[in-house]
Chain A
Amino acid sequence: MVDATNGADFSRVDVASITKTFKLQDRIFFFMTLASAALVVLMLLAILVVLVIDALPTFQTFGLSFLWGTVWSAPTDHYGAVPAVLGTLISSLIAMLIAVPLSFGIAIFLTELCPGSLRRPIGTAIELLAGVPSIIYGIVGLFVLVPLMQLYILPFLIATIGQVPVIGYLFQPPAPGVGLLTASLVLAIMVLPFITAITRDVFLTVPPMLRESAYGMGMTTWEVARNILIPYTRRGLVGGVMLGLGRALGETMAVTFVVGSVTRLQASIISPSTTISAQIANTFGEADGLQLSSLIALGLLLFILSFCVLALAKWMIGRSDSF
C-alpha cells in the first residue's frame, strides 16, 4: 500500500486482487468473531444440557418431590433438596442483613464524610478485600472466627436470645462454633466490599448540583443521604444488592469450612448445617449413582436460583435512570 501511494506507477497495482484478498481476510475475521461469540452461547447451553441429563435419574426416582423432600440420607439412598436449599437461602439472607447496612454506611462515609486524601486509600483497600480468594475467607473463618463463636458469642446468644419464646428456637444448642450463623458472618464479610464498591459508584452518579442544593437548604449529611442519595439511586442500589446476593448464594469455599456440613432440617441457625454448594463440595468426590445425580440436581437448582437473582438485578439496573 505504501509503495502504491508513493510510487508513480499505479498500473502495477492489481486493485481487484487486493480487494479480493481483503474481502477474504475480512470474512475470515468476521467468522472468527462470530464463532467465538457463538461458543460463549453454546457453553451455557452445554452446561444446562449436562446438568439436566446428569440430574435426570434423581427426578425419575423422586419426581418433583425431590424439591420438597426434607430428608437427605445416603444410607437409605433417599434425597430431598430442602435442607441444603434452605441453608443456602437462610445463610445468604442473614449475610445480606449484615452486609447491606454496613456497605451503605461505608459508601456514605466514602462519598460524604471521608477527607479527600483518605478516600482513595480506603476505597482501594476495600476493593482489595474483594480480590482475596474465597478459600482464604474460609480458613481465616475456620481458625479465627469459629473459636470466637464457640467460646464467647454463641454461648452468649443461647443464654440471652435463646431463652426468649419463639425466637429462642433459632438459637438452640448444639453450638460447636461451626454453623449457619458463622457461615453467614463469613459471607457477609465476603460480599461487603463487593456491595460497597457498587454503592459508592452509584452514589457518585448523583449530580453534585442536587447534592449541593440539599446541603444549601440546610440538610444534615444524614438527611442528604437518606432523602437525596438513596432515593435517587435506589434502583442501582437494589441491583447492586442483588448482585451481592447472587455471590452469596453461590459461594462455596468460604462456607464449606465453617458451616459444619450436617444435612438435617433444623430450626437452630447456630447449629451445624449445610448449603447447596457446601453439600456439593463435601460429598461430590465420594458420591456415585443416585447420590451423585441428586447433588447435580442441587447444582441445577443453585444455577436457576442465581440466574433468577441476576435477571432481577439486571431488570432493576436496566430500569434505573441513574445507573
Chain B
Amino acid sequence: MEDTIRQNIMSRRYGRNRLMMTLSVVAAGLGMFFLAVILGTLLYHGISSLSLDVFTMSIPAEGSRGGLLNAIYGTAMVTFFAILIAAPIGILAGTYLIEYANGSKLAEAAKFINDILLSAPSIIIGVFVYGAIVVPMRGNSAIAGIAALALIALPVVNRTTQDMLLLVPNALREATAALGAPRWKSMTHVIYRSAWTGILTGILLAVARISGETAPLLFTAGYSKFMNAGFTGPIATLPVAINTLAADPGEDLKRLAWAGALIITVAILAINILARLMGGRRQ
C-alpha cells in the first residue's frame, strides 16, 4: 500500500520533471530556430542581391543600375563622428563618477540619470534632436544624425567605463599616489591602461549598437539618394535606406534593401564577435 503511494508520487514527480525539461529543451530549440530563420532569410535574399554595384554606386531610381555606396558611406561617417564625440566624454564622465565622486549622493543620481539615458527609447532621442537641431537648422543633416547617435553611444561608454574602473584594484591607485604621481598621470598612465580592454570592448559594443539604429536617424540624418560627403545636407544611412527601400513597390529596390540588410547585419555581428574576443582575452 505505502509502496504504491510512494511509487505514484515518484512517477508523478518524474513525469512532471520530464515534461518541464522537454519544454525547456524545446524553448532552447525555438531560440536557435529564430536565429536560423533570421540569418537564413537574410542570406537567402541578401546573397542573391549582392553585386559589385552595391558597393560602387549610389541608390538608383527603380529600373536603373545602382547600389548602396552613399548609404554605406553615410553609416560609416555618422557612426565614426558620433563615437569620436561620445567616447572621450563618456570615458571622462565615467572617470568622474568612479574616481572622484564615487559613493556621493550626487554621483549616485548622475549614475541613475545615465541609466535613464541608456534605456531611453531611441526614437525619443530622434525626436529630441529634431527639436533641438533639425528645426533650428531648417532641415535634416549629417550633423543632426551624428548628434543623435552620439547621444545614444554616450551612456553606453559612460556605463562601461564605470564598470571597468570599478574592477581596477585600489592598490594600483595607492601605488601611483605613493610614487608622487599626480592624479591625471595616474589615470592616463596606469588606471586607464589597466582597464583599457574593457573600455574598448564597451566602445565597440556602442559602435555595433549605433550603426544599426534606424529610429533616431529617420528625422535627423534623413535620407538621400545621392552621395553627400558634407555635414550639412541630409545623408542616407544603411538602416534608413533599408527602411525606405523595403517599403518601395519596386522589386529591384527591395532586393537592394535585402543586400543592405545582409551587409549591416554581418558587419554588426562581426563587431560583436570582435568585442567578445577582446573582452574574453582579458579574463
Q: Which residues of A contact B (CB under 8 A)?
A: 22-23, 25-26, 28-30, 32-37, 39-41, 43-44, 46-47, 50-51, 53-54, 101-106, 108-110, 112-114, 122, 124-129, 131-140, 142-144, 189, 192-193, 196, 220-223, 225-226, 243, 246-247, 249-253, 257, 277, 280-281, 284-285, 295-296, 299, 302-303, 306-307, 310, 314
Quick one: given A40-B154, A47-B128, are A277 and B121 in contact (CB under 8 Å)?
yes
With A105-B23, A296-B127 given, name 12 new contacts (CB 8 A). Answer: A33-B93, A41-B110, A51-B124, A105-B27, A106-B24, A106-B31, A109-B24, A131-B268, A135-B212, A196-B31, A250-B122, A252-B214
B27-77 residues with Cβ-Cβ distance < 8 A to A are 27-28, 30-32, 34-35, 37-38, 41-42, 45
Are B120 and A47 interface neighbours, CB within 8 A? yes
Can you name the residue of chain A whose Cβ is closest to the Cβ of B114? Answer: A40
How far apart are the CA atoms of A303 and B269 in the complex, in Å? 29
B118-136 residues with Cβ-Cβ distance < 8 A to A are 119-125, 127-128, 130-132
Q: Which residues of B contact A32 (CB under 8 A)?
A: 92
Q: Which residues of A contact B23 (CB under 8 A)?
A: 105
For B, the interface residue count at a CB cutoff of 8 angstroms equals 85
How far apart are the CA atoms of A113 and B27 in the complex, in Å? 12
Q: Can you pick out 11 interface pairs between chain A and chain B where the beta carbons lie within 8 Å of each other?
A: A22-B185, A36-B95, A40-B89, A47-B120, A47-B128, A54-B127, A105-B23, A129-B35, A142-B246, A192-B31, A221-B17
Can you name the residue of chain B whose Cβ is closest to the Cβ of A110? Answer: B28
How far apart are the CA atoms of A295 and B42 in the complex, in Å? 33
Q: How far is the CB of B8 from chain A (nearest CB, A)?
A: 15
Main secondary structure of the interface of B (DSSP, over half): helix
Are B121 and A37 interface neighbours, CB within 8 A? no
Q: How far is the CB of A139 from chain B (nearest CB, A)?
A: 5
Are A140 and B42 interface neighbours, CB within 8 A? yes
B84 contacts A by Cβ under 8 Å: no
B 228-270 binary contact with A (CB < 8 Å = 1; else 0):
0000000000010011001000000000011001001100110
Are A29 and B183 interface neighbours, CB within 8 A? yes
Q: How far is the CB of A288 from chain B (nearest CB, A)?
A: 11
How far apart are the CA atoms of A43 and B154 in the complex, in Å? 10
How far apart are the CA atoms of A132 and B132 in the complex, in Å? 29
How far apart are the CA atoms of A166 and B261 in the complex, in Å? 42
Which of these, A37, A104, A296, contacts B96 with CB under 8 Å?
A: A37
Quick one: given A140-B38, A285-B219, are A220 and B212 in contact (CB under 8 Å)?
no
Q: Which residues of B contact A103 (CB under 8 A)?
A: 27
Quick one: given A37-B110, A39-B89, are A281 and B123 in contact (CB under 8 Å)?
yes
Which of these, A114, A251, A296, contacts B131 with CB under 8 Å?
A: A296
B 205-226 binary contact with A (CB < 8 Å = 1; else 0):
0001000111100110000000
Q: Which residues of A contact B213 (CB under 8 A)?
A: 133
Q: How far is the CB of B131 from chain A (nearest CB, A)?
A: 4
Q: Which residues of A contact B96 (CB under 8 A)?
A: 30, 33-34, 36-37
Q: Which residues of B contact A193 (CB under 8 A)?
A: 31
How far apart are the CA atoms of A306 and B130 in the complex, in Å? 20
Quick one: given A125-B32, A222-B20, are A26 and B183 in contact (CB under 8 Å)?
yes
Are B128 and A44 interface neighbours, CB within 8 A? no
Can you name the residue of chain B whose Cβ is closest to the Cβ of A30? Answer: B100
How far apart are the CA atoms of A50 and B90 in the complex, in Å? 22
Are A220 and B120 interface neighbours, CB within 8 A? no
Quick one: given A30-B183, A125-B35, A134-B212, are A106 and B93 in contact (CB under 8 Å)?
no
B137 contacts A by Cβ under 8 Å: no
Which of these, A40, A122, A129, A246, contacts B119 with CB under 8 Å?
A: A246
Are A50 and B113 interface neighbours, CB within 8 A? no
B272 contacts A by Cβ under 8 Å: yes
Which of these, A23, A51, A243, A314, contacts B128 with CB under 8 Å?
A: A51
B117 contacts A by Cβ under 8 Å: yes
How far apart are the CA atoms of A71 and B33 in the complex, in Å? 40
How far apart are the CA atoms of A251 and B212 in the complex, in Å? 13
Are B128 and A50 interface neighbours, CB within 8 A? yes
How far apart are the CA atoms of A72 and B249 in the complex, in Å? 28
Are A302 and B100 interface neighbours, CB within 8 A? no
Q: How far is the CB of A31 from chain B (nearest CB, A)?
A: 10
Can you name the residue of chain B whose Cβ is closest to the Cβ of A305? Answer: B121
How far apart are the CA atoms of A281 and B130 in the complex, in Å? 12
Which of these, A33, A39, A124, A281, contacts B215 with CB under 8 Å?
A: A281
Q: How far is the CB of B224 from chain A (nearest CB, A)?
A: 14
How far apart are the CA atoms of A89 and B101 in the complex, in Å? 38
Q: Which residues of B contact A138 (CB under 8 A)?
A: 243
Q: Which residues of A contact B114 (CB under 8 A)?
A: 40
How far apart are the CA atoms of A253 and B101 in the complex, in Å? 38
B 74-100 binary contact with A (CB < 8 Å = 1; else 0):
000000000000001111110111011
B172 contacts A by Cβ under 8 Å: no
Q: How far is the CB of A245 from chain B (nearest CB, A)?
A: 11
